[in-house]
Structure 1
């Protein structure tokens, strides 16, 4: 029909770049993926061994070995028993002399070469000291002194079972609420953890440059997590390209910000230990890598939301142009930015509460507190994350608006056979190809 032919041509004319944009986005993702693989090969850590830093060595110079133990009795009494830290089977020997009082705990050794025996743990009560109770499970450090005698000391509380229960409940709730997609998201977390432990940390220990290592590790995580959790489709591809671009932007911003503010990271004790005992690792590089990896979670959240919003808007309104899709999705994005910025800043503030509490009683001015290295690191981290977050919204929304064709194709598979053009009703016997109708007077006067 004449009116139908005209309407069909107008609908397609509003979004003629869909197939071209899809090919460009897929081509870019393939090229980036190849570059990431090449980068992983080039930056892959060597098999060189790294000596255990001095604070983490045993008296014999080796790594710390721990065993399981259970507290069977406890009392307060004089310190100085000859059985303290030693292995015995009956009762501990009484203390020699009348020294100061200790919390004395008899612990059965449940694992290792001395399983089934006992040891005595003496702890002087005071702030920061562990409060061990009868029946609690603990971890004991096992080491051998110069005379060949095995010594045990308290290391930490055993948290294996409680942690397993908490993680199990977390995984169960995610799978119940998000179903199969939640299960795939959990698999993505395992992949992310494997990349960090298996590639990123060894590469940093090997002295590889921090920014390339963090970018390669972050890209591998994003490819695995996004496609695994959300499926291989144009919606996920638009979110992935937006996230990769935003992550690269966050890397550049982090580098510039750290150079401008002269952040060292040495206000944190663990960074000082790294500088003292693992000289091949750059503290500034660690800061940069932390900024980049720390931005992935919030960027992924925002970009996948924006891509989904754009595709859902396109699916709900077959007549919407790309400009209309972009404008509508950006309204969602602005709300998301406003709420996520609070999340970023308050998350970092929550982690720095002990530090802020100490500063509050130190009598220092607020300016000194905010510009000091410890707090400035968190300010820069929040600011860089916020900038990358804000810019990722229009970037991802624009990519998604190019790919989200009107007519309900959100989730169409990526590939040569995927068709993203909208279909309009056709008359019986007419050809159902979705292609623009040429606007010629002869076509209407047939």
Structure 2
């Protein structure tokens, strides 16, 4: 019995490792067409060691975006330890306001043994590492063992999206199918890691999968009748270029992304409802399926309001620049409502929220069936024992 428990305890981690390994092998097997010219450019860590006109150049750069001329010491790559002259355009997206000691990322190009360097941006890797360390540390400290498993689930989710979902679309798999497969795998692994393979996790898994797929289907219907396609998004020129050099279905990307975007919120609702209903069943073993379903609806009603706000506000926050432009330029209502960008954001927010809303009754129904079936199975076993 102890061996069986130990196997189950560590077996789920072995399964996760195995799935991750398979995704990594799949990721490595996909051949990408190079879209940039091979100009021997590399990005390296560097630090500014000399700026003869630091104050003047910094002020000029701030005022008019002029280029700074600096000397960098390379801190990584094949040219580590070497010093090189470089230029930095202190723009809004690229370059940096360089002072002696400023850590930057530089782009290096080598021609006939001569190095050419430009400051690409500030080196933010240390700050990102500290932020992630604090995040994971707090999750582990507060959550304990479940917090640690949540970290593993989060890392797995990132790996699944990067190593499976994106490459699948790149090689021509339908974006909707790719998203559905990714959602199913992420959901199964996340709930097994966090809640093991229990009745409540099974109910949450099924509720999540149904809820997310509903979100995607609603988005597809709205896209059809609202004349919104995946070609009405930002960076469409770059995406078309990618599509010309791969089998990417650009039109379906927008709708498959809604499945991935709504997954977290739907998982939260499904797990909360299923856990609450499981606890109610533990306290009231005689409860009927109808009562369990009603309890699930009552529990989910409060969640619907808060989680809907969570999803809608996330999309509004992500589109804040667009909202500010609309406000500042006093766009007219007919103009606003019929902009592609607004229609897309409405579609994302509302479709995801409908998925959250429907997750409540779906999960409640699934749990009412699972929990009462469990009771029925126990009763039948007891009757068999009495007969013997």
Please state which band the TM-score falls in when normalised by the shorter chain.
0.7 to 0.9
Alignment of 1:369-388 (within 5 A): 369-388=336-355
Structure-2 change in CA distance of 1:109 and 1:336 (3 Å): same
Shift in Å at residue 130 of structure 1?
A: 3.1
Whether the aligned pair in 1 keeps the contact of 2:175 and 2:256 (CA below 8 Å) is yes
- Structure (1 or 2) with the greater helix fraction: 2
When normalised by structure 2's length, the TM-score is: 0.82
When normalised by structure 1's length, the TM-score is: 0.72
Structure-2 change in CA distance of 1:149 and 1:277 (3 Å): farther
Higher relative contact order (CA closer than 8 Å, sequence separation 6+): 1
Out of 309, 332, 341, which is 1:365 matched to?
332
Bigger mean CA offset, 180-189 vs 341-350? 180-189
Out of 79, 100, 104, which is 1:134 matched to?
100
Whether the aligned pair in 2 keeps the contact of 1:326 and 1:398 (CA below 8 Å) is yes
Structure 1 runs not aligned, ≥5 long: 1-36, 80-99, 410-417, 424-431, 439-446
Count, aligned residues: 354
Structure 2 runs not aligned, ≥5 long: 1-18, 59-64
> Which is greater in Rg?
1
Out of 160, 166, 191, which is 1:195 matched to?
160
Out of 67, 70, 74, which is 2:47 matched to?
70
Shift in Å at residue 49 of structure 1?
A: 2.9
Kindly indicate whether residue 269 of structure 2 is the aligned counterpart of residue 287 of structure 1. no
In the other structure, the counterpart of 1:426 is: none
Cα shift readout 1:257-276 (whole Å, capped 9, x = no counterpart): 22222223455443331113
Report the secondary structure of 1:221's partner residue. helix
Alignment of 1:41-440 (within 5 A): 47=29, 49-54=31-36, 57=37, 60=39, 64-74=41-51, 75-76=54-55, 102-124=67-89, 130-145=96-111, 149-266=114-231, 268-279=233-244, 280-405=247-372, 421=378, 433=382
Cα shift readout 1:293-339 (whole Å, capped 9, x = no counterpart): 11111111010111011111111223322222221221110000011
Report the secondary structure of 2:378's partner residue. coil
Whole-angstrom CA distance in 2 between matches of 1:335 and 1:110: 53
Name the Cα RMSD after superposition.
Answer: 3.1
Cα shift readout 1:125-154 (whole Å, capped 9, x = no counterpart): 565563234322211112234x56321111
Whether the aligned pair in 2 keeps the contact of 1:265 and 1:374 (CA below 8 Å) is no
Structure-2 change in CA distance of 1:436 and 1:310 (3 Å): farther
Report the secondary structure of 1:151's partner residue. strand
Whether the aligned pair in 1 keeps the contact of 2:212 and 2:263 (CA below 8 Å) is yes
Report the secondary structure of 2:47's partner residue. strand
